[in-house]
Structure formats: structure tokens, C-alpha cells
Amino acid sequence: MENTNRKENRKGHNPQLGLKELLHYVGPGLLVTVGFIDPGNWASNIAAGSEYGYKLLWMVTLSTIMLIILQHNVAHLGIVTGDCLAESANKNLKPWLSKIVLSTAVLAAISTALAEILGGAIALNLLFKIPVKLASVMILVLILWMLFTNSYQKLEKWIIGFVSIIGLSFIYELSLVHVDFNHAVAGWTTIDIPQGSMLIIMSVLGAVVMPHNLFLHSEIIQSRQWNLEDESVKKLQLKYEFADTLFSMLIGWAINSAMIILAATTFFNKGIHITELGQAATMLEPLAGKGAALIFAGALLFSGIASTTTAGMAGGSIIAGMFDEPYDPKDPHTKFGVIGILVSATLLIFLITDPLKGLIYSQMFLSIQLPITVFLQIYLTSSERVMGKYKNSLKHKMALILIGIILTILNIMLLVSMIKG
């Protein structure tokens, strides 16, 4: 985070293990969770539930486990080194390689922001009949205002509030339908690959780990930076970080599960196949009532706003890291990153005639870039030169490499299927 915050927080905060300190630590993980429940995830989850009922809930369980391991690992980089992933890449890779890797991360941030802005715009269209392109500009202006007029602490509270609203919205939605919990438990714990479901499975498992979130988590975890000269304090912070990550990712697991269950209990049981978010909101009304449709669209709007905000923060962090600087909204490099990435994403929406194709194109690029970021992270966190005695153990390194290989294979398969389609 901002230079001043880092320096102040390092001066000598020596916490004791306790519930009060732990509650103060919770926050960064919830900002990362926003990327786990963004409009792209909504589309995949609704499609999974409407097509296959409860059978693909295991995807949410598996993807959450992978997400916890990767996000926990990259947060350690920020805690131990005091650098975000972009800064560490800039310091520890050859200059030409660092520029290439971080440039692809910038393009990935633009692709992510495109999907987030588009999701929020679709929600405004559903709620107020505002044309999607005009709604995209409105989302852009709102996000820039939020990012440049609020401190990180205020933004964190805003986004935690948005996540809470999304969660409560789905609790309400589920209260309107009959949930078969026996089938849900079986879906969460039993791997089942129905015929024709591979594309949806690849979409969820391959895209749930977002490149920008790995850069973001390593940056914002430093908003909780303590006196890292004291080894006992550093070890305590690593424990608190894991608790924050675990708690936050489980909330993401619950919300994603709720999306699939809602689609299963409404659309699947009626034989209705959903391919677009707008269609989902429209079809909910006759099945679960007008209130359900409105709350669905409202939650989608909050999801779009929250995820666009964190995408802008991640973009600013990546650009600042290219200049060996932390994220700081007052710094020109951070401002250039935030504005450049969000404006570029909005302009791309104007160039795309079919919003659905826009989402597909953005996911295609993320499929290419994600393995680059994952293996960059593994290289840095496994390096003794970078992490010292906190480098990955052989067991953790092998687990991370396995996840990286799985994600790479899934994303290649997803990319090939999209090109063929």
C-alpha cells in the first residue's frame, strides 16, 4: 500500500495472539474474494446449475482449495519481502523478462476489468434499462471516483459491505426456493462429469484463479504490515494472514455454491438452460417472483462495482511495480495504471458489438496469461534469495507446481474449445 502506511505500520506494532487482533486483520482476503464472485463467475455458475443441477458443485470445492493455496502463498511474498508480486518480479527477474511478464499482466488486468465493467453495466441495464455502453461509462466514472477519493481503509469497508450485500442477497434468494441439501452435499463432495459438461467445468476451474488477484493480494496484505524485524511478530502475521484468507475464500465458496444451487432449483428443475446473465434475471421473475429478479440484478451490480474496483487497484499495483514502487493513488505511476487500465477496458466495450463475445474474448486472454503469473509466483516464493528461510518447502513447492500444471492444462483446453467454437 501507500509508502507512508508501510513505514508507519513497521515502526513497532507488536500484537499478541488474540481474537481482537485477528478481527482487525480480516479484510485483505475479502477484497480478493470479490474476484472469486465477479460477473464472469456468475455466468459460469448459473450455466452450471441450469444445465446440470447440483452435479457440478464439486467444482466450487476444488477451485476454492486451489485458490486458498495460491492466495496464501502469494500473500506470504508480500509479508516476508515487503514487496508486491510486481515489485518482486521487477527486482528479481532480468529486466527484459520482467517487462514482458508484467506487460502481459497489464493486458490481463484490462481483460479482467472489461468483464467486470460489462457485468455492472448489464446490471444497470436490467434495473434501469440504461443502454449497456452508457452504463459502462457510468461504472467507469463511479470506480475512478471511489479509487481516487477514498483511502484504502475506506475502500476496504466499502467492498466488505458489498460482499455482505451479495451474500445476504443469495441467502434471501435461497429462502424462496426448495433446496435439496442431500443432493447439494453429494454435489460438493463427489466428482461427477456429466456428458457435455467439460466446457463449463474448465471455465470454472480454469478461470477461478484470476491473475490480477495474485498481484492484488501481495499488495494489500501490506496494509496489515507490522514490525517485521521481530521474527515472532512475522510468524504471527503469517498465521493471521492464513486465517483471513481461509475465512474469506470460504465466503466465496458459499456464495458461488449459492449461485449454482439457485440455478439448479429454479432453472434446471424447469428444464431451462441459461446462457446469459440478463436471461437469468428475466427468467427468475416468473419462477421466484419479481423481488428475486430485482435482488439478483442488484447483487450483480454490487459484484460488478466491487470487482471493477479491485481490478483497478491491481492494475495500479502492477504498473507501479514496474517502476519499483508500491501502490499509491497519489503517485503518477499508480494513477496512470488505474486510469489507463479502466479506460482501456471501457473503450474495448464500445468496440465490441456482442457483449457475450466480449466476455469470451476476455476469458480467452486470461487463459493464456494465468499460467505466466502462477509460475512467476512459484519461482519467487521458492527462491531462498527472495524469501530466505520462508521459501516454499519441497512439499509446498510440489503442491503449487501441481496446481499450476492443472490450471495450465485446463486453460489450454478452454482456449482450444473457445477457438473451435
Q: Please give the pLDDT value at position 7.
A: 38
Residue 17: which domain range?
A: 3-420
Total tally of structural domains belonging to the chain: 1
Average pLDDT, consecutive stretches of 10 residues, N- to C-terminus, the chain (421 residues): 45 54 76 86 85 93 92 94 95 96 94 91 92 96 95 90 92 88 94 84 74 93 69 78 92 93 88 74 71 87 94 96 93 96 94 70 75 95 95 95 88 72 61
Task: Count CA atoms within 13 Å of residue 354 on its CB side.
Answer: 5
Q: Please give the pLDDT value at position 117.
A: 94
Q: Please give the pLDDT value at position 12.
A: 45
**CATH number of the domain enclosing 215:** 1.20.1740.10
Q: Please give the pLDDT value at position 387.
A: 95
CB 46 within 8 A of CB 257: no
Q: For residue 254, with 0-12 CB atoms within 10 Å meaning exposed, 13-18 middle and 19 or more buried, which class applies?
A: middle
Global pTM value:
0.88
